[in-house]
């Protein structure tokens, strides 16, 4: 009897000790990726980063005037729609307050931060870590640039937040902080991004192009709104632009082909483009142009925005602009891209 009691006691001890070893609870599903398994190798990060490219809006399959690619012009003073009831909401003061603002996109910021937070714990070497940190900084800066231009002061979120993170209820950060962080992140990316991800991916020239665009916007905004550090951003714009011009000194001579070609692969001056593939990613732009462009036209303000052949706007040129009295004068000696955007009243050689 004592032997049975002793044996039972040993079995219970072994059973209890095995219960204390809960390592089996850390087994992850084999058919599903988790945060602990997806961010390990260079290729893992590359696969995850492909999903971040959707920040670049393109034409959708069921294209309409509400799409982001059209709304920027349609809601400005560059276009007007003749169909009653569909006028631009800003030009006709029809905009209504709403709780739904899709441009306030912290879901995307979280997706980028999730990648950035897992770089240091991955199996990559230091150079590879610097590259993917640069890619993450680019995408986060791109999205923050979009939000900064719309809202000004916004919360700067450095890491992926949890349900109990106090930042969820934090105040907006100042425009100065957000703009400074954007520029700082982009300058890091400029000096640390690699060149091994293949064609049509985020590389140094893409980063420099974004520095140029962001710094020009922020510098001029600060200059004309009486804010400090305008020159800091404008100088960065000039510097980054000069670097881009060293690699891309020329632009494609046929402006219209940038919009009606099946592919922009290898086209002169193209730094990054959205590729479409039959059965994979398509759009309905040709259908929309064929059936709906008759009641959408450019305004005179849009025509006036094109420069004259001396490189000056119509408001300051001294000899090139033909005046507003008749349409022939308006189109004479203008940037040739005007002729490819709006049909001129005569043949242009």
Q: Please give the residue that has the higher pLDDT: either 10 or 34.
A: 34
Considering only CA atoms, give the Rg of the chain: 27
Helix (H, G, I), strand (E, B) or coil at 18: helix
Tell me the pLDDT tens digit for each residue of 236-283: 999 999 999 999 999 898 888 888 888 899 999 999 998 888 888 877
Q: How far lies 212's CA from each of 29, 147, 188, 215, 243, in Å?
A: 45, 17, 15, 5, 10
The vertex-187 CA angle with 217 and 215, nearest 5°, equals 10
Q: Is the pLDDT of residue 26 over 60?
A: no
How much of the chain, in percent, has pLDDT values that exceed 70? 76
Lowest mean pLDDT among 85-94, 224-233, 338-347: 85-94
Contact 175, 144 (CB under 8 A): no
Q: For residue range 85-129, what is the model confidence (pLDDT) as tens digits? A: 666 666 666 666 555 556 788 899 999 999 999 999 999 999 999
What pTM did the predictor assign? 0.81
Of the ranges 151-155, 278-282, 344-348, which one carries the lowest mean pLDDT score? 344-348
Separation between Cα atoms, residue 23 and residue 275, nearest integer Å: 46
Could you tell me the pLDDT band of residue 65, with boundaries at 50, 70 and 90?
A: very low
pLDDT given at position 299? 86
Least trusted range by pLDDT, from 183-192, 194-203, 315-324:
315-324
pLDDT in the model for residue 162:
85
d(CA 104, CA 151): 9
Is residue 63 over pLDDT 80?
Answer: no
263: helix, coil or strand? coil
Q: What pLDDT is attached to residue 8? A: 53
Closest of 107, 110, 103 to residue 161, by C-alpha: 110
Per-residue pLDDT, averaged over 13-22, amounts to: 52
CATH number for domain 36-298, candidates 1.10.10.10, 2.60.40.3880, 1.10.760.10, 1.25.40.390: 1.25.40.390
Task: Give rounded-to-5 percent helix, strand, coil for the chain.
Answer: 50, 5, 45
Choose between 282 and 340: higher pLDDT.
Answer: 340
The winner for highest mean pLDDT among 16-25, 37-46, 58-67, 124-133 is 124-133
More confident: 135 or 85: 135
Which of 121-130, 305-314, 337-346 has the least mean pLDDT? Answer: 337-346
- Whole-angstrom Cα distance, residue 276 to residue 49? 18
Instruction: Point out the least confidently predicted range of 9-23, 28-42, 298-312.
Output: 9-23
More confident residue, 98 or 36: 36
Lowest average pLDDT, out of 43-57, 58-72, 161-175, 198-212, goes to 58-72
Window from 20-24, 46-50, 190-194, 260-264 with minimum mean pLDDT: 20-24
Residue 66 pLDDT greater than 60, yes or no: no
pLDDT at 47 over 60: yes
Residue ranges matching CATH 1.25.40.390 in the chain: 36-298
pLDDT band at 49; cut points 50, 70, 90: very high
CA 38 to chain centre: 24
pLDDT of residue 56: 87
CA-to-CA distance for 320 and 322, rounded, in angstroms?
6
Q: What is the C-alpha to C-alpha distance for residues 154 and 147, in angstroms, rounded to an integer? A: 8
Q: How many CB atoms lie within 10 A of CB 206?
A: 19
DSSP string, 284-346: -HHHHHHHHGGGEEE-HHHHHTSPBTTS--TTT-SSS---SSSHHHHHTTB-HHHHHHS--SS
What's the whole-number mean pLDDT along residues 323-335? 86
pLDDT at residue 60 tops 70: no
């Amino acid at each position: 009897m004592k032997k049975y009691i002793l044996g039972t006691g040993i079995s219970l001890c072994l059973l209890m000790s095995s219960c204390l070893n809960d390592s089996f609870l850390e087994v992850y599903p084999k058919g599903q990726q988790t945060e602990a398994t997806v961010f390990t190798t260079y290729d893992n990060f590359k696969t995850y980063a492909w999903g971040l490219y959707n920040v670049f809006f393109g034409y959708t399959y069921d294209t309409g005037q509400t799409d982001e690619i059209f709304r920027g012009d349609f809601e400005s003073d560059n276009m007007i729609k003749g169909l009653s009831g569909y006028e631009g909401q800003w030009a006709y003061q029809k905009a209504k307050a709403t709780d739904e603002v899709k441009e306030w996109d912290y879901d995307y910021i979280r997706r980028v931060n999730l990648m950035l937070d897992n770089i240091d714990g991955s199996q990559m070497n230091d150079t590879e870590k610097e590259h993917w940190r640069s890619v993450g900084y680019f995408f986060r800066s791109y999205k923050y640039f979009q939000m900064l231009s719309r809202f000004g002061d916004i919360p700067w979120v450095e890491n992926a937040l949890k349900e109990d993170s106090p930042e969820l209820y934090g105040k907006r950060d100042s425009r100065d902080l957000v703009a400074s962080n954007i520029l700082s992140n982009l300058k890091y990316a400029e000096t640390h991004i690699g060149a091994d991800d293949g064609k049509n991916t985020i590389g140094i020239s893409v980063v420099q192009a974004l520095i140029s665009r962001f710094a020009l916007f922020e510098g001029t905004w600060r200059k004309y709104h009486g804010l400090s550090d305008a020159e800091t951003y404008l100088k960065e714009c000039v510097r980054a632009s000069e670097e881009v011009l060293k690699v891309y000194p020329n632009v494609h001579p046929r402006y219209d082909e940038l919009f009606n070609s099946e592919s922009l692969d290898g086209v002169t001056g193209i730094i990054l483009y959205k590729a479409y593939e039959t059965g994979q990613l398509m759009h309905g732009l040709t259908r929309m142009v064929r059936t709906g462009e008759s009641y959408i036209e450019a305004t005179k303000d849009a025509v006036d925005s094109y420069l004259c052949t001396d490189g000056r706007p119509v408001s300051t040129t001294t000899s090139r602009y033909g005046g507003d009295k008749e349409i022939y004068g308006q189109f004479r000696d203008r940037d040739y891209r005007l002729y490819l955007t709006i049909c001129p009243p005569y043949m242009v050689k």
